[in-house]
Amino acid sequence: MGKKKGNGERPRRAWRAALPWVLSTLSLAAALVAGVAAFQQIERLLIEDRRFALGSAEEYSDAKPDIRIAGVEHASPETVMNVFAADAGRSLYLFPIEARRRRLLAVDWVKNASVARIWPNRLEVKVEERQPVAFVQLPPRRSGQLYNVALIDNEGVILEKPPGATYDLPVLTGLRDDQSAAMRAVRVRRYLQMCAELADELCGKVSEVDVADPNNLRIRMTAAGDSVLLTLGREHYLARVRRFLDHYAEIHRRLPAATRFDLRLDDRITAVDGVTQ
């Protein structure tokens, strides 16, 4: 009889030992269920309550005080605002931040952008625009057009010139809009390298740069009031231009009709007609 009683005590002791764990597990499960229910209730509130919704066009007409956009100077404000047209009346909780940011990056002139939710019902949009470094002369787009002039930034991205905007920048030739931005960027960087070497004083005299061959830049600049075309190659820009300007008075005296010169040999200046100085 004692043996049977001992056998019955072991399951009861095991159950008593496991009881705290069972109660703890049940409590945790109940807390999780309550947490899920609370989360769902809060989520439903954020989705359905109008206090968390972006205003519609009917509410604000053309003004949108719930979408604040900063940094737009050259990009079209209408195009930027149209990125958010489908979000009128949408809960801020459901607002697709990354998708809208990608659409902003596709807008002309926009280099970078950030979009932030400002609770309860506002968006803050910050735009970083591209900075043009030169005009670019592109092949004509339609019959009868001599050429098409746009702007270009240091990444080779072509930008439409904003109406009424003025820029004191040289013109790059030898670029095409059917080239990849990477191909154009190589040529733009070589032009910027040349400008950095020439510095503002001399680069300001340059009106046109042919970058068709990035290893052989050709520039049009003024020398003693004359417009000259200089072939510079790919290096020693400053030394070559300075040497030419130092000798230009004598060159012009001897060759008054010469306007094109090859400076790629560091020990001579060669006129296009073959006369060497």
**Which range (4-13, 98-107, 143-152, 158-167) has the least confidence?**
4-13
Per-residue pLDDT, averaged over 174-194, amounts to 95
> Closest Cα partner for 256 from 216, 226, 219, 213?
226
Return the structure tokens found at 15.
Answer: 């159950």
Q: Using alpha carbons, select from 207, 213, 201 the residue that is nearest to residue 228.
A: 207
Q: Are 158 and 150 in contact (CB under 8 A)?
A: yes
pLDDT value at residue 52? 86
The predicted pLDDT at position 36 comes to 61
Over the stretch 229-241, which tens digit does the pLDDT of each residue have?
999 999 999 999 9
In contact, 52 and 91? CB cutoff 8 Å: yes
Closest CA to 160 of 200, 127, 129, 124: 129
Q: 21-25, 147-151, 250-254: which range is least confident on average? A: 21-25
**Cβ atoms within 10 Å of 157's Cβ, excluding its own:** 17
Between CA 202 and CA 246 the distance in angstroms is 13
pLDDT (0 to 100) of residue 6: 56
d(CA 92, CA 69): 16
Task: Please indicate whether residue 99 or residue 162 has the higher confidence score (pLDDT).
Answer: 99
> Between 38 and 166, whose confidence is greater?
166
pLDDT of residue 60: 43
pLDDT tens digits for range 218-228? 999 999 999 99
Question: Which residues, other chains included, contact 266 with Cβ-Cβ below 8 Å and sequence gap of 6+?
Answer: 236, 239, 240
- First vs last Cα of the chain: how many Å apart? 128
Q: Report the percentage of the chain scoring pLDDT > 70.
A: 79
- 9-63 pLDDT, tens digit per residue, is 666 666 566 667 665 776 676 667 666 655 566 667 668 788 888 876 554 445 5
Residue 117, classed as helix, strand or coil, is: strand
pLDDT for 61 equals: 45
Specify the 3-state DSSP secondary structure of 10. Answer: helix
Per-residue pLDDT averaged across 63-92, rounded? Answer: 88
Instruction: Kindly state the DSSP code that residue 94 receives in the 8-state scheme.
Output: G
Q: How far is the C-alpha of 220 from the C-alpha of 229, rounded, in Å? A: 4
